[in-house]
């Protein structure tokens, strides 16, 4: 029987024609499976309340149509309560846009390049806070396309960089330690921005690059515990592509960071993601003891070879389109209807909400992975394991035979795992993660 393979989604995330070796997305828009524009609109009541249960099952079956991906993600990430009305969401959105504008203005006062449509790729202050003269401001980041930009003095040349002399608030430079720490990250953000998703046509536009830099710079200022770390640009980039308004993209990114910021926290000797690597080791030891023993023998018992997968949620292992498909399936599986409350309410109220979980809610409002946790008492654990750890475990399980036969050192392990880039199926990976999760919970219960 012939089956419709579905419409490929590559056309929504156009790749620059000169980039020939970019893996094509396996994600297909399939009628009856993918959450379509029509089905999404039909999931709302006349007042604007969303039937989240029906929506989650549809996303798990076939992902989200690219045309509505941004607004669906805002619910999956906990930006909005499914029970809210259209009017309530409009008020929240407006309030957040105003708040972002305040944050941005605060940053602009400290460093006027913020919000100017430009960004920097060279240091602007020393570690003592002394200004570095003539920091480089990137005006155009796409050599070989379009006319050369004008310099500040009106001159044009063969350089695509220009100087900006009034970028620090005073000739003395900042004295506040937090301001200095923030300013020290700005050029690193710029360097990462020009490397992020550079194969996409979207980032040929200077305004999109500067938008990414602005959001990351503002986030680095407001999250003083974490600041900015490499990898955050990979997490932020899809938000800018999917949500046209910069403030909306910022808040979607901020919600995603609430889930993942622990990965980026450093205490001098370790990075937060190492806790997940320990969990990955425990899971592999339970479900594939032979592979775990082999990796330990090779000196890979710390599982650092999986660091990148967890840090940036498989952005490098999947094509751009497939990584978005993977993320939305993960978030749909993990969905908790109390997400919005947990983010919005005060700590004391949140604890109250935590205690009343599930009482007034149908079980179908929770994602499938979350339901499994609840069934097995996982909701009472201090920190339920994210599905991303089981996704990595499923990749290792899939490559187990190859790793056991061919890996004679850690370099071989890395090479075998790198060969998965562009060859993974997002849906199969999620299905594999769910099976391993169930198996692990069963085995972990046994004495």
**Does some domain include residue 1?**
no
**Does some domain include residue 403?**
yes
Q: What is the pLDDT of residue 378?
A: 52
Based on the fold, state whether residues 79 and 99 are members of the same structural domain. Answer: no
Based on the fold, state whether residues 33 and 106 are members of the same structural domain. Answer: no
93 burial (CB, 10 Å; 0-12 / 13-18 / 19+) is middle
Cα distance between residue 88 and residue 16, in whole Å: 40
Query: Among residues 277, 240, 242, 280, which one has the least CA distance to residue 262?
Result: 277
CB 308 within 8 A of CB 316: yes
Cα distance between residue 308 and residue 9, in whole Å: 25
Picking from 85, 103, 126, the residue at the C-terminal end of a domain is 85
Residue 27 sits in which domain range?
7-85
Q: Which long-range contacts (CB under 8 A, 24 or more apart) does 197-203 make?
A: 197/234, 197/237, 197/241, 197/320, 199/15, 199/16, 199/19, 199/22, 199/320, 200/13, 200/14, 200/15, 200/16, 200/241, 200/320, 201/14, 201/15, 201/16, 202/13, 202/14, 202/241
Based on the fold, state whether residues 41 and 153 are members of the same structural domain. Answer: no
Based on the fold, state whether residues 180 and 296 are members of the same structural domain. Answer: no
Per-residue tens of pLDDT for the chain, all 447 residues = 334 456 767 778 999 999 888 888 888 898 889 999 999 999 999 999 999 998 999 998 899 999 999 999 999 999 999 999 999 999 999 999 999 999 999 999 999 999 999 999 999 988 988 888 765 555 433 333 433 233 333 332 333 333 344 444 445 667 789 999 999 999 999 999 999 999 999 999 999 999 999 999 999 999 988 999 999 999 999 999 999 999 999 999 999 999 998 888 776 555 678 889 999 999 999 999 999 999 999 999 899 999 989 999 999 888 999 999 999 999 999 999 888 877 776 333 434 344 434 444 678 889 999 988 888 765 444 557 899 999 999 999 999 999 999 999 999 999 998 887 777 888 899 999 999 999 998 887 665
Rg (CA), the chain: 23
Picking from 60, 85, 110, the residue at the C-terminal end of a domain is 85
Phi, psi for 155 (deg, rounded to 5): -80, 155
Sequence-distant (≥ 6) Cβ neighbours of residue 156 within 8 angstroms: 148, 149, 150
Strands of 183-268, DSSP E? none
**Does some domain include residue 260?**
no
Based on the fold, state whether residues 429 and 291 are members of the same structural domain. Answer: yes
Query: Among residues 370, 391, 390, 392, which one has the least CA distance to residue 381?
Result: 370
Q: Give the chain's end-to-end CA distance (angstroms, integer).
A: 48
Total domains present in the chain: 3
Cα distance between residue 345 and residue 339, in whole Å: 10
Based on the fold, state whether residues 300 and 432 are members of the same structural domain. Answer: yes
Q: What is the pLDDT of residue 446?
A: 66
- What tokens does 155 get? 């001159």
Q: Which long-range contacts (CB under 8 A, 24 or more apart) does 263-271 make?
A: 263/310, 263/311, 264/226, 264/229, 264/231, 264/232, 264/311, 265/225, 265/226, 266/229
Q: What is the pLDDT of residue 6?
A: 66
- Name the one residue in this structure whose structure tokens are 């070796």: 21
**Does some domain include residue 255?**
no
Strands of 43-166, DSSP E? 119-120, 136-138, 161-163
- Name the one residue in this structure whose structure tokens are 């393979």: 5
Reduced to 3 states, what is the DSSP secondary structure of residue 152? coil
**Does some domain include residue 263?**
no
Cα distance between residue 292 and residue 361, in whole Å: 40
**Does some domain include residue 375?**
yes
Based on the fold, state whether residues 106 and 71 are members of the same structural domain. Answer: no
CATH number at residue 313: 1.10.472.80
- Name the one residue in this structure whose structure tokens are 């536009």: 205
Query: Among residues 122, 146, 63, which one has the least CA distance to residue 326?
Result: 63
**Does some domain include residue 264?**
no
419 burial (CB, 10 Å; 0-12 / 13-18 / 19+) is exposed
Based on the fold, state whether residues 413 and 355 are members of the same structural domain. Answer: yes
Based on the fold, state whether residues 197 and 305 are members of the same structural domain. Answer: no
Based on the fold, state whether residues 436 and 297 are members of the same structural domain. Answer: yes
**Does some domain include residue 259?**
no
Cα Dmax for the chain: 75
Query: Among residues 388, 387, 335, which one has the least CA distance to residue 366?
Result: 335
Angle at 171 (CA atoms; ends 168, 172), nearest 5 degrees: 100
Based on the fold, state whether residues 147 and 204 are members of the same structural domain. Answer: yes
Phi, psi for 194 (deg, rounded to 5): -75, -10
Picking from 85, 100, 117, the residue at the C-terminal end of a domain is 85
Whole-structure pTM value: 0.87
Q: What is the pLDDT of residue 173?
A: 65
Based on the fold, state whether residues 134 and 235 are members of the same structural domain. Answer: yes
Cα distance between residue 247 and residue 269, in whole Å: 35
């Amino acid at each position: 029987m012939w089956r419709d393979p579905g419409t490929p989604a590559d056309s929504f995330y156009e790749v620059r024609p000169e980039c020939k070796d970019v893996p094509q997305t396996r994600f297909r828009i399939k009628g009856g499976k993918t959450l379509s524009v029509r089905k999404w609109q039909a999931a709302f009541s006349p007042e604007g309340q969303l039937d989240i249960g029906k929506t989650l099952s549809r996303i798990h079956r076939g992902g989200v149509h690219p045309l509505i991906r941004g607004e669906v993600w805002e619910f999956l990430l906990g930006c909005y309560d499914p029970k809210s009305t259209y009017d309530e969401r409009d008020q929240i959105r407006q309030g957040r846009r105003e708040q972002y504008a305040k944050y941005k203005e605060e940053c602009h006062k400290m460093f006027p390049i913020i919000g100017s449509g430009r960004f920097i790729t060279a240091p602007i202050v020393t570690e003592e806070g002394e200004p570095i003269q003539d920091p480089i401001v990137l005006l155009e980041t796409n050599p070989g396309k379009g006319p050369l930009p004008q310099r500040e003095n009106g001159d044009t040349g063969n350089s695509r960089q220009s100087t900006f002399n009034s970028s620090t608030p005073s000739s003395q430079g900042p004295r506040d330690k937090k301001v200095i720490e923030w300013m020290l990250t700005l050029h690193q953000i710029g360097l990462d921005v020009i490397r992020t998703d550079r194969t996409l046509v979207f980032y040929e536009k200077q305004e999109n690059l500067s938008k990414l830099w602005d959001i990351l710079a503002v986030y680095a200022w407001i999250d003083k515990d974490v600041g900015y770390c490499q990898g955050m640009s990979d997490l932020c980039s899809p938000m800018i592509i999917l949500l046209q308004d910069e403030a909306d993209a910022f808040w979607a990114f901020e919600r995603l960071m609430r889930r993942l910021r622990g990965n980026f926290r450093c205490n001098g000797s370790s990075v937060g993601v190492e806790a997940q690597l320990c969990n990955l080791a425990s899971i592999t030891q339970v479900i594939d003891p032979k592979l775990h023993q082999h990796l330990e023998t090779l000196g890979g018992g710390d599982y650092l070879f999986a660091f990148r997968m967890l840090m940036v949620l498989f952005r490098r292992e999947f094509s751009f389109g497939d990584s978005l498909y993977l993320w939305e399936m993960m978030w749909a599986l993990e969905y908790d209807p109390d997400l919005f409350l947990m983010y919005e309410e005060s700590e004391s109220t949140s604890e109250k909400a935590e205690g009343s979980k599930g009482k007034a809610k149908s079980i179908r409002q929770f994602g499938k992975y979350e339901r499994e946790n609840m069934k097995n008492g996982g909701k009472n654990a201090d920190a339920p394991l994210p599905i991303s750890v089981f996704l990595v475990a499923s990749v290792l399980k899939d490559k187990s035979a190859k790793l056991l036969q061919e890996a004679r050192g850690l370099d071989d392990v890395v090479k075998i795992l790198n060969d998965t880039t562009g060859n993974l199926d997002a849906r199969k990976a999620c299905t594999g993660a769910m099976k391993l999760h169930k198996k692990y919970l069963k085995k972990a219960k046994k004495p």
